[in-house]
Chain A
Amino acid sequence: AQRVTQPEKLLSVFKGAPVELKCNYSYSGSPELFWYVQYSRQRLQLLLRHISRESIKGFTADLNKGETSFHLKKPFAQEEDSAMYYCALSGQAGGTSYGKLTFGQGTILTVHP
């Protein structure tokens, strides 16, 4: 079974402060991890995924297999980062997969001016 846990439903920070959105997963195989973001009144969209190892909008996330975590970090939060963030897992990286995603509960990030 695959499971994704985002322990914080709400996270508030001030502009310029560092932010970390936590994500832990449970999966027996080799997962592919994603962060999706949903801005107000917009669709879910991919923010980043672990295999690309890139920084998007200043956000980074490192897959830690030992701790089964994929926390999302940004050193200096901006007001426009306010959104709902979902951590998601696809159970099979590479090979044959239909790409089903299992989502965490989501974290609402609010960045105050």
Chain B
Amino acid sequence: EPEVTQTPSHQVTQMGQEVILRCVPISNHLYFYWYRQILGQKVEFLVSFYNNEISEKSEIFDDQFSVERPDGSNFTLKIRSTKLEDSAMYFCASKGGLAGTGELFFGEGSRLTVL
């Protein structure tokens, strides 16, 4: 069964460093998402991406964050200059082609630790 895959599973970085989290969505999906979960808190929406552009973003997704789909298969989340409060589990998700309803398929997450 096709799955969303994420790398790395865990990354430790120093404050101020750039981080790129990678995701390979399910191949025929058209909608892509990043969520994050700070330890002990709820899963929060960051950004959705469709037709090669951001379709919606939350207030968390400030200028330090960016997303790209560079090659038609990968979907990346970049944090330009990490802060301590960026430490969280980051989940990538994708959804099939039907607009509106539909199940989101999640990756296993990338744990980011900022020291």
Contact = CB atoms under 8 A, between A and B. Distances in A.
A42 to B, nearest CB: 8
A96 B56 CA distance: 13
Contact of B104 (A95, A96, A99): A99
Interface residues of A, number: 27
B89 to A, nearest CB: 10
Interface in B61-115: 91, 95, 99-104, 106-109
Contacts of B42: 86, 103-106
Interface residues of B, number: 26
A43 B107 CA distance: 6
A98 B106 contact: no
Contacts of B95: 99
B55 interface: yes
- Name, among A51, A90, A96, the residue most crowded by chain B CB atoms within 10 Å (CB to CB): A90
Contact of A99 (B41, B43, B102): B102
A44 B91 contact: yes
A11 interface: no
Nearest to A51: B101
Of the listed residues A36, A92, A93, A100, the one surrounded by the most CB atoms of chain B closer than 10 A to its CB is: A100
Contact of A98 (B55, B107, B108, B109): B55
Given A45-B106, A99-B100, 18 more contacts: A34-B103, A43-B109, A44-B106, A95-B99, A95-B100, A96-B99, A97-B99, A97-B100, A97-B101, A98-B50, A98-B55, A98-B56, A99-B48, A99-B102, A100-B48, A101-B104, A103-B43, A106-B43
Closest 4 CB pairs of A and B: A44-B106, A103-B43, A98-B55, A98-B48
18 contacts: A36-B106, A45-B106, A86-B42, A86-B43, A95-B99, A96-B99, A96-B100, A98-B50, A99-B31, A99-B33, A99-B95, A99-B101, A99-B104, A101-B33, A101-B35, A103-B42, A105-B41, A106-B42
